[in-house]
């Protein structure tokens, strides 16, 4: 178990030992009271935490245990991507009811997959009994020049990574008692934090970024508010997955793609070749039209209202 310190006797420690064994080289320094990490000289430390709760973020039967673990870690790592930070460590606090005990190994396997994929070792955590399954994943990363939400300027170009709408379609299907399509389901179950893509964008003139967790328009609205600008998005330019309308794509949350404002247009083909993921120009940053800066949606020169989405868990 790499450089981990030995744990004492006891059932809880047996479980933790099993998890650490499963994680192999991904687990580092577990067993001491706190993890010790070095931040590269000249860099800032970035920290973010994200909770995944049964019956709030997913329902039993939607996801396999490894997908629950992977998704929880990927969602947390996406917040580092949004800041153009390089992951350093993952810490996991797991609250596990008795009925989920048998699936703990699967959940841990998924967390380990995310850890390996994004080179973020698991350096600590906590395990406790609870009445509902929840995973709280804390991620630490570093960046010499973190990318905030507040750097967008009038005249910047707005881009989005990937193709949107998959998670929205998958949730709609599950909530209506249908099985989602394989592609839509995969986008919900196995999101891909855009870590390397963010570093590329940051080095090519990105001024601000946010990851799409609430929906493209909603998250662009958060960026607009932080930067005190309007973000104008062309509905028909939004890259939508097959089976998702542009409106669904504008509203679909938990995408973990990035919305980025750039000083000038960049080579989208180069980006797609490098990462195998599309980069699409979807809009422009303008001066606020009204007192409150916001994100707006336009189609053929007219403003479009995004119909309110239904609450999947109401």
Signed CA dihedral, 107, 109, 113, 115: sign only: positive
Nearest distance in Å: CB 211, Mg ion: 4
Choices 26-34, 188-196, 205-213, 261-269; region in contact with Mg ion by CB under 5 A? 205-213
Residue number, 51 or 105, with CB nearest to Mg ion: 51
The continuous run of DSSP H or E covering 143 comes out as strand 134-143
Q: Decide if residue 257 touches Mg ion (CB under 5 A).
A: no
Greatest CA separation found in the chain?
68
Nearest distance in Å: CB 40, Mg ion: 23
Q: Decide if residue 79 touches Mg ion (CB under 5 A).
A: yes
Residue number, 223 or 249, with CB nearest to Mg ion: 223
Residue number, 30 or 217, with CB nearest to Mg ion: 217
Closest CA to 120 of 161, 57, 75: 75
Residue number, 79 or 254, with CB nearest to Mg ion: 79
Residue number, 104 or 164, with CB nearest to Mg ion: 164
Choices 51-59, 167-175, 184-192, 210-218; region in contact with Mg ion by CB under 5 A? 210-218
> In the chain, what are the helix, strand and coil shares in percent, each to the nearest 5?
35, 25, 40
Q: Environment class of residue 11 by beta-carbon count within 10 Å: exposed (0-12), middle (13-18) or buried (19+)? A: exposed
Residue number, 79 or 230, with CB nearest to Mg ion: 79
Nearest distance in Å: CB 213, Mg ion: 5
Choices 86-94, 198-206, 212-220, 255-263; region in contact with Mg ion by CB under 5 A? 212-220
The continuous run of DSSP H or E covering 81 comes out as helix 65-82
Query: How large is the C-alpha radius of gyration of the chain?
Result: 20
Choices 120-128, 142-150, 211-219, 260-268; region in contact with Mg ion by CB under 5 A? 211-219
Q: Decide if residue 67 touches Mg ion (CB under 5 A).
A: no
Instruction: Kindly give, in sequence order, each residue whose CB lies less than 8 Å from that of residue 4, ignoring residues fewer than 6 positions away.
Output: 20, 27, 28, 29, 30, 31
Choices 74-82, 90-98, 148-156, 161-169; region in contact with Mg ion by CB under 5 A? 74-82
> Distance between CA 268 and CA 240 in Å, rounded?
16
Nearest distance in Å: CB 79, Mg ion: 4
Signed CA dihedral, 270, 271, 274, 278: sign only: negative
**Residue of 211, 234, 254, 255 interacting with Mg ion (CB under 5 A):** 211
Nearest distance in Å: CB 308, Mg ion: 21
φ/ψ (deg, to 5) at 153: -125, 155
Residue number, 79 or 109, with CB nearest to Mg ion: 79
Residue number, 48 or 299, with CB nearest to Mg ion: 48
> Distance between CA 125 and CA 60 in Å, rounded?
23
* Binding region for Mg ion (CB under 5 A): 79, 211, 213
């Amino acid at each position: 178990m790499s450089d981990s310190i030995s744990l004492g006797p006891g059932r809880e420690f047996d479980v933790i030992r099993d998890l650490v064994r499963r994680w192999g080289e991904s687990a580092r320094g577990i067993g001491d009271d706190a993890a010790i990490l070095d931040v590269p000289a000249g860099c800032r430390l970035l920290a973010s935490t994200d909770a995944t709760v049964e019956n709030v973020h997913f329902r039993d039967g939607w996801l396999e245990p490894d997908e629950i673990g992977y998704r929880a870690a990927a969602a947390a790592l996406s917040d580092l991507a949004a800041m153009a930070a390089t992951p350093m460590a993952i810490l996991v606090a797991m609250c596990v009811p008795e009925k989920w005990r048998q699936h703990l190994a699967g959940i841990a396997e998924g967390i380990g997959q995310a850890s390996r994929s994004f080179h973020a070792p698991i350096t600590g955590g906590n395990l406790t009994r609870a009445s509902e399954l929840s995973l709280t994943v804390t991620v630490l990363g570093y960046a010499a020049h973190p990318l905030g939400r507040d750097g967008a300027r009038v005249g910047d170009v707005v881009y989005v990574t990937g193709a949107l709408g998959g998670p929205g379609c998958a949730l709609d299907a599950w909530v209506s008692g249908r099985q989602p399509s394989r592609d839509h389901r995969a986008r919900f179950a196995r999101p891909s934090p855009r870590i390397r893509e963010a570093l590329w964008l940051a080095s090519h003139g990105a001024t601000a970024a946010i990851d799409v967790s609430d929906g493209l328009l909603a998250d662009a609205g958060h960026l607009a508010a932080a930067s005190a600008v309007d973000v104008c998005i062309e509905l028909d330019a939004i890259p939508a997955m097959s089976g998702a309308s542009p409106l669904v794509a504008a509203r679909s949350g938990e995408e973990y793609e990035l919305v980025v404002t750039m000083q000038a247009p960049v080579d989208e083909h180069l980006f797609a070749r490098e990462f195998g993921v599309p980069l699409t120009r979807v809009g422009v940053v303008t001066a606020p039209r009204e007192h409150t800066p916001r994100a707006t949606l336009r189609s053929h020169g007219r403003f479009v209202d995004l119909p309110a989405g239904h609450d999947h868990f109401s």
